[in-house]
Structure 1
Amino acid sequence: MTNTPSNAAREESLDLASIPPLESIPPQLGSPGGSLPAPTVDAGWNTRTKALEVLAILALAYTLFFARAVLLPFTLAVVLALLFRPVVRYLRKRWRVPEYAGAAGALVGTIAMLIVALSLLALPAEDFVRGLPEKLDAASVKLNQEKLFKSFVSMQKKLNGAGDLGVSTETPAPPRREGEDDEEPEGDDPDYAALGAAGPGAAAEVRQAGGVEVEEEDEPATMVVEERPPSLLNRVFSSAPEALGGFALAFVFLYFLLAEGDAILNNTIALLPTMAEKREAVGLTRAAEKGVSRYLMLVSAINAALGVCIGIAMWLVGLPNPVLWGVMAGMLNFIPYVGAFIGAGVVFLVAYLEPDFGLLDAAMAPLCYMCINLLEGNFLTPAVLGKSISLNPLMVLLSLAFWGWIWGPTGAVLAVPLLSMTKIVCDDVESLRPLALLLGPRIEKDDSASDSPDAESEKPAATAAPAVAPAA
């Protein structure tokens, strides 16, 4: 009698075991101590996350555009701080100059150099602007005498004549009625009634007097308001106060970044939780600062040398004010690809405005300009910078378009330095290496030697040599 319940329980358990398990058990039917099924993941979560990321990027671009009055001077100050930071650090280590005094000395020296450069360029620029109206009139006369321009104008006239359908704009005369003659209106004719209500006597007196003189009333003169866009000089002078205020704010930011740079860095690193993260942040900051300052100093020196060479070339061509065009070329070279074409177009127009230059003579100035730029871009810059910072041309053009749209000409000048800073930082951070490869490949000397096919073919031979040597 004691074995009967145990056998029944065993048979019941076997029957339960033969039942296949359910794919999902509702929580209210599951055992209290059992594990609940994993929560289902919403399939649209990834889509919503990507949409939020896109909206965040658009909001960032919106903020950069509408807060440019503050963000543009601050960004310019950050770039200049990376350029002048080694100078302040050298003064502190070598001559024991405090950072506040070193930052003030660097700013005063920079402002003094800018004032000297502007004073040297003021007189040539004033001469060029003063003689510009007369040169424009002479250039228009000279252009009308060019054979190429005449052929272009004649072709344009032929094309305009081919599209004319010969439609007359004159109003046709009303058709004459049958039986209508040139006799005087009489009787009940509407024209007769138009002579007045005085009757035939008044009509006869009018005919004897020689007809009716209708005095036309003077119509009031209509006033036409034409809205003309402001000229280039008006735009320059109207935007001058805003530009000067932005540069003044940038210099204020620059002074405090140079004077308080280490303190700001130390306070930021103190927020990190572990000592390993603090060491990594310090190393990354020092490496990025060193790489960016080296890049900016070398690029500034290359652009200055390019400006000197182009100024000498413009003097040899015979262009007036060669110093002005050399400085313009050095500044425009901070904008790759686009700056060279803008500078070549400007020197061509300036050369053609001269009365002694023809069309072919004026073409010599942009030809020399582009040749010097090609030599600098293909030989000088790769020899000085090497391939450590190699930017993708498409990324450079996209950066120029974006920052030029957001911040105007100053943003276009800052586009390539900002892109280079981003690439340098991404090269040093392991998680950002894919973005660095997208911006442009970085070829290190050690990596290039080890990654080359010759090195890989020699590597097994070198490892196999010690194994053969003992056998010999």
Structure 2
Amino acid sequence: MEAEPAASGAAESPDPRVEARADMHLMRSLLVGIFILMAIYALSFARAFFMPVILAFLLALTLTPIVRFLRKHGMPDVISATLLVMLSVSILAVAGYLLSGPVIDLINNTSVIGQQLTERLAQLRRPFERIMEISRQIEGLTQTSQGPGVQRVAMAQSGLLPQAASNLLSAGTSLIIVFVLSLFLLASGTMFYEKIVESFPSLSEKKRALRVVYDVEREISHYLLTVAVINTCLGVVIGLGLWALGMPNPQVWGAAAALLNFLPYIGALITITLVTIIALISFDSISYALLAPAFVLLCDTVEGQFVTPTVVGRRLEINAVAILIAIAFWSWLWGFVGALMAVPLLVVIKVFCDHFGGLSHVGNFLAAQHAAVEEELIEEMDSAAAQTGARRLRRPD
């Protein structure tokens, strides 16, 4: 009888090896968390360095299929890379020159546009006039309660011209870094693949590493180039359609639609909102003015639901929650440029995760839930529930 308590006490004593593994797992998780926080801080602190470098890698990946195609037809990588980078610089310069005038006019006329929009929507403001009157009365009472001794201090903004010049110089330097680094990356050819092969000792590891690198590079470059072409075509179609409807500065809205389409959901909403505002103040009839945003909405719907899934494929689709989180994170970190790079970077991360077994669960989390997979999961859940119910019915009371 006395042996039983001793046996139970021995059974309850913890295994040192289990505790050591748990401590190691906890330590590893803490180190990963610290590394992620340090990486985020580094990306924020050194944004002037990381932003152009990542943009250069994305541009090089976008143009890699063209360089590879020209290489197969006998053109050296240095010549094709130089021509492509020069063509990219020329397109950017011409587009900036053609769009600078209308964009500057829109920025200078923002107050006039706001006044015209207010007058245009005056009939819709009547239900809110009482609320605005109450708000003004409350503001007047608040100012009265502050007393005559309280003064509002307005700080005049000085040094706007030097600040604008500094920002312009910084943007120009970043663009030079992007194009020069992209040129060297494209002209390097197979140098990086040779370095990767030399890093592994055995032949099987060399083949596996080379296969993974080729697959990742091919999928990412194909995706980026395809999406860039689709967005360009979308901008051209929207610009021509708005020109046919009589919208002012249709080239600006076509370029905005092409650029903002790199922001899924949010970019289309911004484009539709801007086109709606300009259409309401440009046309006399409200019903006719709504044709412009309706056309933009139709184009974005066709592109997002039919064209891109058909051309790019379903395998690289990302779920909407991950996309919105990525856009919010990168816009907080690097502003508008970071928001534009959010989805391409998310696709890069997903492709890498899909090719490495230890990170496959991350790639699975980022993937979109397709209708067929969802129906299959529902059928499996219904089958499991039916089997559970049958077992309960067969169970004796």
Give the alignment's TM-score, normalised by structure 2. Answer: 0.78
2:193 is the alignment partner of 1:289: no
Is the 8 Å Cα contact of residues 230 and 308 (structure 2) preserved in structure 1?
yes
Match of residue 326 from structure 1: 254
The AA in structure 2 aligned to 1:62 is Y
Give deviations 1:59-84, integer Å, cap 9, x for gaps.
11111111111111111111111111
The AA in structure 1 aligned to 2:313 is G
The AA in structure 1 aligned to 2:69 is Y
The AA in structure 2 aligned to 1:241 is L
Alignment partners' CA distance in 1, 2:204 and 2:163: 54
Pairing of 1:380-395 with structure 2 (within 5 A): 380-395=307-322
The AA in structure 1 aligned to 2:67 is V
Secondary structure of 2:190's counterpart equals helix
The AA in structure 1 aligned to 2:128 is F
2:327 is the alignment partner of 1:400: yes
Alignment partners' CA distance in 1, 2:108 and 2:18: 77
Selected match of 2:80 from 98, 102, 107? 102
Give deviations 1:163-218, integer Å, cap 9, x for gaps.
9999x98x9xxxxxxxxxxxxxxxxxxxxxxxxxxxxxxxxxxxxxxxxxxxxxxx
Pairwise CA distance, 1:158: 4.2
Match of residue 128 from structure 2: 152
Alignment partners' CA distance in 2, 1:98 and 1:23: 74
| Superposition CA RMSD, Å | 3.8
Percent identity of paired positions between Structure 1 and Structure 2? 31
Alignment partners' CA distance in 2, 1:146 and 1:224: 32
Secondary structure of 1:390's counterpart equals coil
Give deviations 1:124-171, integer Å, cap 9, x for gaps.
33454555555455445x25x7122233123321466599999x98x9
Is the 8 Å Cα contact of residues 81 and 183 (structure 2) preserved in structure 1?
yes
Is the 8 Å Cα contact of residues 388 and 442 (structure 1) preserved in structure 2?
no
The AA in structure 1 aligned to 2:94 is V
Alignment partners' CA distance in 1, 2:114 and 2:28: 58
Match of residue 54 from structure 2: 75
Cα pair distance change 1:322/1:236, threshold 3 Å: farther
Is the 8 Å Cα contact of residues 99 and 251 (structure 2) preserved in structure 1?
yes
2:299 is the alignment partner of 1:372: yes
Pairwise CA distance, 1:233: 9.9
Give deviations 1:201-253, integer Å, cap 9, x for gaps.
xxxxxxxxxxxxxxxxxxxxxx9852256899998665222222111111121
The AA in structure 2 aligned to 1:105 is L
Match of residue 348 from structure 2: 421
Alignment partners' CA distance in 2, 1:232 and 1:373: 38
Match of residue 343 from structure 1: 271
2:210 is the alignment partner of 1:271: no
Cα pair distance change 1:232/1:308, threshold 3 Å: farther
Query: Which of the pair is proportionally richer in helix?
Result: 2
428-437 or 394-403, which deviates more = 428-437
Query: 5+ residue gaps in structure 1?
Result: 1-19, 25-36, 172-222, 454-472
Alignment partners' CA distance in 1, 2:126 and 2:159: 29
Alignment partners' CA distance in 1, 2:95 and 2:241: 20
Is the 8 Å Cα contact of residues 325 and 347 (structure 1) preserved in structure 2?
yes
How many residue pairs get aligned? The number is 361
Cα pair distance change 1:165/1:239, threshold 3 Å: closer
Give deviations 1:68-126, integer Å, cap 9, x for gaps.
1111111111111111122223333312x332222212211211222222233234334
The AA in structure 2 aligned to 1:281 is A
The AA in structure 2 aligned to 1:56 is F
Alignment partners' CA distance in 1, 2:18 and 2:236: 68
Give deviations 1:260-307, integer Å, cap 9, x for gaps.
242123113311222111111111111111111111121112111211
Is the 8 Å Cα contact of residues 389 and 442 (structure 1) preserved in structure 2?
no
Bigger Cα Rg: 1
Is the 8 Å Cα contact of residues 344 and 370 (structure 1) preserved in structure 2?
yes
Match of residue 92 from structure 1: 71
Alignment partners' CA distance in 2, 1:315 and 1:237: 34
Alignment partners' CA distance in 2, 1:353 and 1:229: 31
Alignment partners' CA distance in 2, 1:375 and 1:339: 15
Secondary structure of 1:81's counterpart equals helix
Cα pair distance change 1:304/1:133, threshold 3 Å: same
Match of residue 120 from structure 1: 98
